[in-house]
Structure 1
Amino acid sequence: MEVLSDAMLVKEVLDGSKDAFAELVRRYERPAIASALHVLGRHHSAEDAAQEAFVRAWRQLPKLSKPDAFGPWLLKIVRRCALDMADRKKADVSLDAAAGLPAHQGNGQLDDDNRQLLNLVMGLGKAERQVVLLRYFGGHSVRQVAVIAGRSVGTVTKQLSRAHQRLRSQIKE
C-alpha cells in the first residue's frame, strides 16, 4: 500500500476526493486533539475544537499555498479554534482531561508511574506545561511545537529543558 504525502492528499482533496481528506483527518486527529487539549484542558472540548478546525481547514484548503505544510497549517487552525472556545467557555485545565492523552496503557487507564508523571507535568507553569504536552503527549517535533505555540524553536527548547530540570528534581524528592 502506497503512503501518500500530505501534499498529494491535499491535491486529491482539491480534486474532489473525500477519501483523501478522511486520510488527512486520520493522520492529524490525535495531534489536533492534543494541541487543543492544552488550551482547553478538557478532552471533550478538545475533540470539539479539533472537529471545528477540520471543518475550517476543509473550507480554507484552496487557500493553502504550501500543500506540503498541511500539518503545521492545520495545527494553527486548531489553536485558533481552541482559543476561541476557551474565550467562550473559560475552560480550566484538569488532570482528568489530560488523562485522555496517549500516555496510557492498552486498557485506557494510566498506570501509577504515568499518573504521577502527568500530575507533575500538570503542576508546571503554563508555558512549560504546553510545550511538554505538545512534545511528549502530542508527539510533535520541537519545530512543530514552536509553530503551534507561536514561539521560536530556541524558546521551546529552553522551556523543555527547564521543564525537564523541574520534573527531574521533583521525581528525586
Structure 2
Amino acid sequence: MLQTKSFDQMVEKYQEMMFFTAVKILHDRQLAEDAVQEAWIKVFRFQIKLEKIDQLGAWLRTIISRTAIDLLRKEKRSRSVLLDEETTLENTTLCATEHIEKSLDIQCTMEEISECLCKASKKIQAVFHMKFIKGFQDAEIAEVLGITQSAVKTRLFRARQLIKKQGIYEMQPGA
C-alpha cells in the first residue's frame, strides 16, 4: 500500500492535469473539482495495484476522463424538464451529450493504446494502425505489406497482448 507521503506527492504532481482534463469535458469548474475529488478517491481505493501501472499519468487521465463523463451522465439524468416546449431541446442536448461522451471515451482509449504501442515494433504498429485506424481487412493488410494473413493475425495478437499487459482494459477501479 502506498504511503501517505507518496500519495500526497502523486496528488501534487497530477492534480492540475486532472483538473484541466475534467474542465475540458465538463465545461464547469465546480463540477470538475467534484470529478477530480471522486477520481482521487478511486485512485486511493485502487492504490494497492498502482505499482503495476507503467504510465501513471495516462492512467490518471483515463480515470478522470471517465469519472467526468460519469458525472456528466449523472447531471444529465438529474435534470428536470419544466415545460413541454423544452422537451425537444432537452432531448437534442441529451443526444449531443451522449455523442460527445462516446467520442471522448473512444479518444481517451485510443490515446492510451497509442502510448502503449509506441513500445512495440514498427511492424506491429503498422498492422495495428492499418487494421484499427484505417479499417483495412486482414487480406488487404497482408497484400499492402507483402506478408501472409497469418503474419497479420500474429502481429495483431501481439499488439493486443501488449495492450492487455499494460492493463488498459483491466485498470478500472470502478471507473
TM-score range relative to shorter protein: 0.3 to 0.5
Question: Which one has a bigger Cα radius of gyration?
Answer: 2
Normalising to structure 2: TM-score of the pair? Answer: 0.44
